[in-house]
A = this chain, B = another copy of it.
């Protein structure tokens, strides 16, 4: 999944990683601190952080032996923009419009039977 939005969604698909982002929304912090709420090993957390980093969702600094993590939200904006294209489909008024159009289609189906749903049938 080389494209940016795929790796963003992929990174967000894990509850541990979403929890890490939620923690980072409160502020920059260390890996150990990020790991503390979870029962998994440090290397596991470290790899979750690597996934988030590769998705561009966090940046890591260097402070003595600590490597503080910091939220980078730009990819989230991109994801939100993608989702926004579908907003009309969950907006109530559009839902009713959709159902109305479906009813029209259903009526048409009763008339036009064989031509329906063929490979290139447009809307």
Contact = CB atoms under 8 A, between A and B. Distances in A.
Contacts of A119: 30, 32-33, 36, 97
B32 A66 contact: no
A40 interface: no
Nearest to A8: B13
A108 interface: no
Interface string A1-26: 10101110110111100100110011
Interface string A56-96: 00000001001010010110110110111111111111100
A112 B66 CA distance: 16
A114 B90 contact: no
A28 interface: yes
Contacts of A76: 83, 86, 89-90
Contacts of A77: 87, 90
Contacts of A14: 1, 6
Contact of A1 (B15, B30, B89): B15
Contacts of A41: none
